[in-house]
Structure 1
Amino acid sequence: MSSKLTGYIFVLLAISVFSVQDAISKYLGSLYPPALITMIRYWAFAAFAIALASRSKGGLLTALQTKRPLLQILRGVLLAVQIVLVIFSFSMVGLAHSQAIFSSGPLFVALLSMPLLGERVGWRRWTAIIIGMCGVLLILDPVGGSFDLVLMIPIASSMIFAIYVISTRLVSRTDTTITSFLYTGIAGAVAISLVGPFFWMPLAPQDWGWMLLLCVTGTTSHFFLIKAYELLDAAEVQPLTYLQLVMASFIGVLIFGETIGLNVIAGSVIVVCAGIFTVWRENIVARRNAKRPEPPSPQTLT
């Protein structure tokens, strides 16, 4: 089996597990505070991250070494906050509708990468971003009478996740993947553990089973995604991740009885196409810049 085929299998496994994870999050989020669910889930995530780092080259102490500790800690906190908003969005907005808005993530990343990373965005990506944002507006339907302020929850979640992705790009310039993964788990677990106990409430016996399954899916999905990125480029992974929107829509309609308006379907198609193009174009530009020869140093010129 080729490495690329194996990578695609890992992507599909990750997407499938993420979809199950989202469905469980929606169910639990309708019964318990999102901060409580996130805290218990993060305990399992942190344990998995520590175990994975301990088995890495150099062990746990090597994985903890970072040149940007504050930024690494910020990443973990951002992701914990984002997960709380995701669970809240699933219970308030719906699984399908939330995922439709979450699909705008790459567009927000491209927008924020200019002021935060100093990246230049050409007219092609600008066009894709503008078209994609029009798709987001179509999903929100602000003039159609169906706009609700709760839709700002998934929008805020997408923005926070975009900042998380950009901060991940920054730390990846100096730190290893396992270091970033470890800090994501530990910093997020510590941050949410400072808040989660204030929302504590007893879980029903049957819901502890769902919580355990949520912890298992939360760790395995990230593991599959890590393995996929080891074998594939981001431009090869991103288009497939939009299948999660399709799976979430089926789960939302068939299991939770959600309804999807034509504006959500049309807007999702626009956003997905714009997102795929943005990621593809970003990959093309990155490869072109990597092949570009560096200017000669002053010593060479003399």
Structure 2
Amino acid sequence: MDKTAGGSALKGVLFVTTAVFLFAVADAMNKYLVERHPISLVQAGRYLVNVLLLLVIMLPRHGTGLWRTQRTGWVVMRGIILALATLTMSLALQRMPVGETVAIIYLAPIMVMLLSGPLLHEKVHPAAWFGALLAFGGVILVMRPGGGLDTWGVVFALLNAALGTAYHLMTRVLARTETTMSMLFHVALVGTVAFGATAVAALPSVLPTTTDLALIAAMGVIATAGHFLFTIAYREGPPALLAPVNYLHLVWAGLLGWLAFDHIPDTLSILGMALVLVAGVAVAVRAGRAD
């Protein structure tokens, strides 16, 4: 690898590392906010900020290409799936610590890999099945009976993993005909409309404080910045190198859960989270070598 390529790949790794850190920060902020305010209100604000940022920053550069699509119905459906994923993630975070929640939802990348064979006709190496079993074992340790996690929180986290799997599979299919920016914009627009409509009905008698409104807006900025960095990272480095870095999200989530909420998982939960981390990285590395 020449120095230029090496430097570019390093930038890609740094971008992904920063992006997943921002995602973990947004998760922690989300937990704090949805424990205090209706989910619909918090997410409507977050998605509205996302739309406004895309319009201000990307519209001058992309023009009508920002929202132009070829398969509009499927693009909107993808946005609805992500809005439902956001809802289930928020419901899980209301009931569970950040680290354990993120560990469970990281079943999604494993499921995407396994389902890409029968659904997208991509080759799945037998070693990937071993990695999947290892990850499932880790998740079982995290959400085991007697582990202290809220049952409904676990259910919502598993639903989020299922929705995340569908979302990523649709993204891989739609990427063949749609631009990254148009898919990002429609996700933000659908989320704004969906949560905005329900926020009106759930509007509390006491509105959030100025500080909480600022946190909602900041969460929107942080999440948008994370998605932007995540997108440009793959222009700098190969997916085989960057995919394992995604699993730093689990590390950041665990650390922020401790720092922000003073939550330290028990020994078996830490072991389970470690198994998910190791299995995910191993599967991503193996998939990259296969490519």
TM-score (norm 1): 0.86
Whether the 8 Å contact between 2:88 and 2:157 is mirrored in structure 1 is yes
Whether the 8 Å contact between 1:11 and 1:224 is mirrored in structure 2 is yes
Matching of residues 170-189 of structure 1 within 5 Å: 170-189=173-192
Q: Please state whether the residue corresponding to 2:208 is helix, strand or coil.
A: coil
Q: In 2, Cα distance between the equivalents of 1:259 and 1:64?
A: 43
Question: What displacement does 1:272 show?
Answer: 1.6
Q: In 1, Cα distance between the equivalents of 2:191 and 2:69?
A: 16
Q: Please state whether the residue corresponding to 1:260 is helix, strand or coil.
A: coil
CA deviations on 1:152-195 (whole Å, 9 max, x unpaired) are: 11111111111101100000111222222222222232232232
Question: Which amino acid in 1 is paired with 2:266?
Answer: G
Q: Please state whether the residue corresponding to 1:242 is helix, strand or coil.
A: helix
Q: Quickly say closer, same or farther: Cα 1:147–1:250, change in 2 above 3 A.
A: closer
Q: Partner of 2:73 in structure 1?
A: 70
| 1:283 aligned onto 2:288 | yes
Q: Please state whether the residue corresponding to 2:70 is helix, strand or coil.
A: coil
Q: Which runs of 5+ in 2 are unaligned?
A: none
| 1:105 aligned onto 2:108 | yes
Q: More displaced, 70-79 or 127-136? A: 127-136
| 1:127 aligned onto 2:130 | yes
Q: Partner of 1:85 in structure 2?
A: 88
Query: Of the two, which has the highest radius of gyration?
Result: 1
* 20, 26, 34: which one aligns with 1:29: 34
Q: In 2, Cα distance between the equivalents of 1:216 and 1:122?
A: 38
* 177, 181, 193: which one aligns with 1:190: 193
| 1:44 aligned onto 2:49 | yes
Whether the 8 Å contact between 2:45 and 2:217 is mirrored in structure 1 is no
Question: Which amino acid in 2 is paired with 1:149?
Answer: T
Question: Which amino acid in 1 is paired with 2:151?
Answer: L
Question: What displacement does 1:133 show?
Answer: 1.2
CA deviations on 1:178-224 (whole Å, 9 max, x unpaired) are: 22222222223223223232222211232122122212212211111
Q: Partner of 1:299 in structure 2?
A: none
Question: Which amino acid in 1 is paired with 2:218?
Answer: L
Q: Partner of 1:244 in structure 2?
A: 249
Q: Please state whether the residue corresponding to 2:54 is helix, strand or coil.
A: helix
Q: Quickly say closer, same or farther: Cα 1:197–1:161, change in 2 above 3 A.
A: same
Q: In 1, Cα distance between the equivalents of 2:210 and 2:192?
A: 24
Q: Quickly say closer, same or farther: Cα 1:52–1:184, change in 2 above 3 A.
A: farther
Q: In 1, Cα distance between the equivalents of 2:147 and 2:21?
A: 34
Q: Please state whether the residue corresponding to 1:105 is helix, strand or coil.
A: helix
Q: Partner of 2:210 in structure 1?
A: 205
Q: How many residues align?
A: 283
Whether the 8 Å contact between 1:136 and 1:271 is mirrored in structure 2 is yes
Q: Quickly say closer, same or farther: Cα 1:112–1:195, change in 2 above 3 A.
A: farther
Whether the 8 Å contact between 1:103 and 1:268 is mirrored in structure 2 is no
Question: What displacement does 1:72 show?
Answer: 0.6
TM-score (norm 2): 0.89
Question: Which amino acid in 1 is paired with 2:69?
Answer: T
CA deviations on 1:114-161 (whole Å, 9 max, x unpaired) are: 44323342322122112221221121113x464642211111111111
